[in-house]
Amino acid sequence: MDAHEIILAKRDGHELSDAQIRWFLEAYTAGDVPDEQASALLMAIVFRGLDRRELETWTAAMIESGQRLDLSGVGRPTVDKHSTGGVGDKISLPLCPLVATCGAAVPQLAGRGLGHTGGTLDKMEAIPGWQATLPPERMVQQLRDVGVTIAAAGPGLAPADRKLYALRDVTGTVESIPLIASSIMSKKVAEGTSALVLDVKVGTGAFMRDVASARLLAETMVQLGTDNGVRTAALLTRMDTPLGRACGNGLEVTESLEVLSGGGPDDVVTLTVALAREMLALVGLDGPGGADPAGVLARGEALPTWRAMVTAQGGDPAAALPTANAVHVVEAPAAGYVTRLDAFLIGRTAWQLGAGRARKEHPVSPAAGVVCAATEGEHVEEGQPLLELHLDDPGRLELALSTLIGAIEIGPEPIERPPIVIDTITA
């Protein structure tokens, strides 16, 4: 095999053979193919794509590049959820303990935020003492004892994807549905879950801005999961305005605790319950006599599971969360109805305040972020608090405020917010 010939073949629009794909990914993971040649192949894939057979083989090769966790001894049906990323998207925090309380085991391997989107691990690390890293044997034991883990993927899980992901980020090769789908699904299949629900975001604050692109991504991932023996479904959900009111790591933990206690914003509760129902359905826990996730959540019955999960991973569920050194209030410039609260610009503002990172190795502030005192569809009076900007470094405020330009619109007439769930995609 020759890397140069494989690059030329894809560049010129030819299909790659299974042997070529497997050799290239194995050689790249082992360090025998340099980054510049891998970058060239990735760029060729961005422009030429991968057909279904190529994509199946590409994904399988990434899975086979490392270990595949065995969760057969957990004692419960296993099901996970993955979101393509959004602003204020803290759904995993209430969702995972909720589904575990309803009888499933949730082995969530989560990631960190990058750019305007938040990361589940960053949110959880706002809890004093909480640890993201779990060896496989501890993960299995915690799933037996508690029913849920939220943890970082270990280095042995799909290492080919780990290398390719970092390369795509710096070579302009992120925007490719085959590459996105194979990256997500290789990790999820390797983690050993028997079922998976995908939350594919659509809108200004999402990676996919239009429904057609999001639907294609969802269908591609559902097919990959099904082909690899993982029962998979996807929900297309709106991400034009932030989820809930809190955008920022510790702030989102606080809001998640409100949801787990039976309260919280309606949109967060609605999406949490919708995803929980889909997850329970995939593992057969939705029939007569099964748990009602809406009732379990409303009664606060998932809160003990949350506390047990946090404690098992070294955290103190009773500890106070970090608070910012300063809070700047943005007031409504006029009376009327909030007709626009742009998710992307609010997410960028939170990032500017310190809640996010430009590169994966950068630290984040657990206290920084944005709280929406009013959100889309609500009435405000002139001078009423509209946003709270939480920050540790006052030097970040001016740039954050400039990022907000155009993010908020107030009109004379009320608007009706559309349903958060657009569609469900199944195999």
Give catalytic residue positions: 82, 161, 168, 183, 187
SS3 state at 397: helix
| Residue 167 near residue 35 (C-beta atoms within 8 A) | yes
d(CA 212, CA 189): 25
Task: Note whether 248 and 353 are within 8 A (CB).
Answer: yes
Residues 6+ apart with CB under 8 A from 321: 126, 127, 250, 253, 254, 366, 367
Q: How many CA atoms lie within 13 A of 166 on its CB side?
A: 10
Question: For residues 183 and 165, what is the distance between their CA atoms, to the nearest angstrom?
Answer: 7
Neighbours of 371 (CB within 10 A): 23
Judge contact between 57 and 21, C-beta under 8 A: yes
C-alpha–C-alpha distance, residues 56 and 10, integer Å? 16
Angle at 364 between CA 360 and CA 370, to 5 degrees: 120
Q: In a 10 Å sphere around its CB, with 0-12 CB exposed, 13-18 middle and 19+ buried, how is residue 275 labelled?
A: buried
> Which tokens sit at 126?
């706002």
Query: For the chain, how far is it from start to end, CA to CA, in angstroms?
Result: 35
**Whole-angstrom distance, CA of residue 357 vs CA of residue 380:** 32
Burial of 318 (0-12, 13-18, 19+ CB in 10 A): exposed
Pairing state between β 231-238 and 195-202: parallel
